[in-house]
């Protein structure tokens, strides 16, 4: 473990020295979880973006690219479930008032927090006698919403509240009808984009791995419900093909099936793809079957028709979606 941390420190130092990545706002002491890309880092990042776009979008005739706005009508996030459910378990140092991820503290002492309720976490913290990094008592875990909130216009509060998007996916769902009307694609087809997301991480860590401002490369692949199992396996293979294209050794990539209770609220099946980083195996991408959760919720909340009319049998359906996601910074 000590050698892994030493290697990571050397990597951070090398990235700065060679102009790949700098600490954000460094002359003012920096800001946790923010990093700036230098000339070489930007060139490398652009190469990965362009290669991803060619592989998943330009080389196919069933994929449509968009670039949606970061700021969206707040009702989008109410419909998606983020306002009520996009949260992490937080504990607070009773003395210093510093806050930490409860699940991360549990992992550090060998406890697997997956599937644990807040009550289970509180019990484990007491049983394991877990203290804050400063050695102080901790509060009981509470849910902490990770969305950044801001205001538009000249008056704060009320109808002016908006959020920095926590995911790019909703931009593709709300533009589903626009793509249908403009291009008349047949199912299955995808909508893709590369963009910035913002997550108010309680404790950013591991260099550019867990940050508050991140770039995601992903697409929503729309299909009929009866097609999802076959196409899910197809996209598993395509994601491995992408990792092969990047030159990753096969033994450095592993699939992790996410169990019931640990998946996101919208997912019926999720596979995370883990890469062997210097510190440990950790997530580099994911594949989720989001069902028709998003389109149905947007239909209910917006009152708009987001269904698809099958040109063969003339039957309307609300398409389901499979979502391959890749963390660009990772």
* Sign of the alpha-carbon torsion through 219, 225, 227, 231: positive
Q: Is the pLDDT of residue 4 over 90?
A: no
Same domain, 112 and 233: no
**How long is the chain?**
330
Judge if 16 and 111 occupy the same domain. no
Q: Quick one: 252 and 318 in the same domain? A: yes
Task: Say whether pLDDT at 145 is over 80.
Answer: no
**What does the pLDDT look like over 244-269, one tens digit per residue?**
999 999 999 999 999 887 888 789 99
pLDDT-above-70 percentage for the chain: 95
Q: What is d(CA 175, CA 185) in angstroms, rounded to the nearest whole number?
A: 13
Dist CA 17 CA 262 (whole Å): 40
Q: What would you report as the CA-atom Rg of the chain, rounded to the nearest whole angstrom?
A: 21
Question: Are 214 and 305 in a shared domain?
Answer: yes
**Confidence tier at 274 by pLDDT (50, 70, 90):** very high
Report H helices in 160-290. Answer: 169-174, 176-183, 228-245
Nearest residue to 140 via CA among 95, 84, 90: 90
Query: Do residues 6 and 128 both lie within one domain?
Result: no
Range name among 103-107, 156-160, 208-212, 276-280 with the lowest pLDDT average: 156-160
Residue 154 resides in a domain: no
More confident residue, 184 or 207: 184
Based on the structure, what is the number of domains in the chain? 2
Q: What token pair was written down for 47?
A: 């190469």
Q: Within a domain: residue 66? A: yes
Same domain, 54 and 102: no
Q: What is the mean pLDDT of residues 110-121?
A: 84
Contact 171, 69 (CB under 8 A): yes
In a domain, residue 82? The reply is no
Could you give the CA distance from residue 286 to residue 273 in angstroms, rounded to a whole number?
A: 6
**Average pLDDT of the residues in 232-247:** 97
- Domain hosting 130: range is 87-145
Within this chain, do residues 226 and 113 fall inside the same structural domain, yes or no? no
Q: Which residue has the higher pLDDT, 248 or 93?
A: 248
Q: Which of 37-41, 120-124, 248-252, 260-264 has the lowest mean pLDDT?
A: 260-264
Please check whether residue 150 lies inside any domain of the structure. Answer: no
Write the pLDDT tens digit of every residue in 7-17: 778 888 898 89
The predicted model gives 291-309 an average pLDDT of: 96
Helix, coil or strand: residue 150? strand
What CATH code is carried by the domain that includes residue 108? 3.30.40.230
Domain-located, residue 116: yes
Query: What pLDDT does residue 211 have?
Result: 87
Query: Are 12 and 43 contained in the same domain?
Result: yes
Question: What confidence category does residue 2 fall into, taking pLDDT thresholds of 50, 70 and 90?
Answer: low
Indicate if 231 and 175 belong to the same structural domain: yes
Q: Which DSSP letter does residue 205 get? A: B
Task: Please report whether residue 307 resides in a domain.
Answer: yes
What is the full DSSP assignment across 154-187? SS-SGGGEEEE-S-SHHHHHHTHHHHHHHH-PPS
Give the C-alpha separation, 45 to 177, whole Å: 31
- For residue 169, the domain's CATH number is 3.30.930.10
Could you give the CA distance from residue 148 to residue 152 in angstroms, rounded to a whole number? 13
Q: Are residues 240 and 273 in the same domain?
A: yes
What six digits make up the tokens of 251? 């033994």
């Amino acid at each position: 473990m000590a050698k892994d941390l030493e290697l990571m420190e050397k990597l951070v130092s090398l990235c700065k020295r060679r102009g790949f990545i700098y600490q954000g706002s460094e002359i003012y002491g920096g800001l946790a979880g923010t990093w700036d890309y230098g000339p070489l880092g930007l060139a490398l990042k652009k190469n990965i973006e362009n290669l991803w776009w060619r592989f998943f979008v330009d080389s196919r005739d069933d994929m449509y690219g968009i670039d949606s706005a970061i700021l969206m009508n707040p009702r989008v996030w109410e419909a998606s479930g983020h306002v009520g459910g996009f949260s992490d378990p937080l504990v607070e140092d009773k003395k210093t008032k510093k806050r930490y991820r409860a699940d991360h503290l549990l992992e550090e002492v060998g406890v697997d927090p997956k599937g644990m309720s807040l009550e289970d976490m509180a019990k484990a913290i007491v049983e394991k006698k877990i203290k804050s990094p400063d050695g102080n008592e901790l509060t009981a875990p509470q849910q902490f919403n990770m969305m950044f909130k801001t205001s538009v216009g000249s008056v704060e509060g009320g109808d002016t509240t908006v959020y920095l998007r926590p995911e790019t996916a909703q931009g593709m769902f709300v533009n589903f009808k626009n793509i249908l009307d403009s291009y008349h694609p047949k199912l299955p087809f995808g909508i893709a984009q590369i963009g910035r997301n913002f997550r108010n991480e309680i404790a950013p860590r591991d260099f550019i791995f867990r940050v508050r401002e991140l770039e995601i490369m992903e697409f929503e692949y729309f299909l009929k419900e009866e097609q999802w199992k076959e196409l899910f396996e197809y996209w598993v293979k395509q994601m491995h093909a992408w990792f092969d294209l990047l030159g990753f050794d096969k033994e450095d990539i592993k699939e992790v099936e996410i169990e019931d209770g640990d998946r996101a609220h919208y997912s019926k099946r999720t596979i995370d793809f883990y890469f062997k980083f210097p510190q440990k195996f950790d997530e580099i991408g994911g594949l989720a079957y989001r069902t028709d959760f998003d389109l149905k919720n947007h239909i209910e909340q917006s009152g708009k028709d987001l269904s698809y009319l099958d040109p063969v049998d003339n039957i309307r359906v609300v398409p389901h979606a499979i979502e391959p996601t890749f963390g660009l910074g990772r």
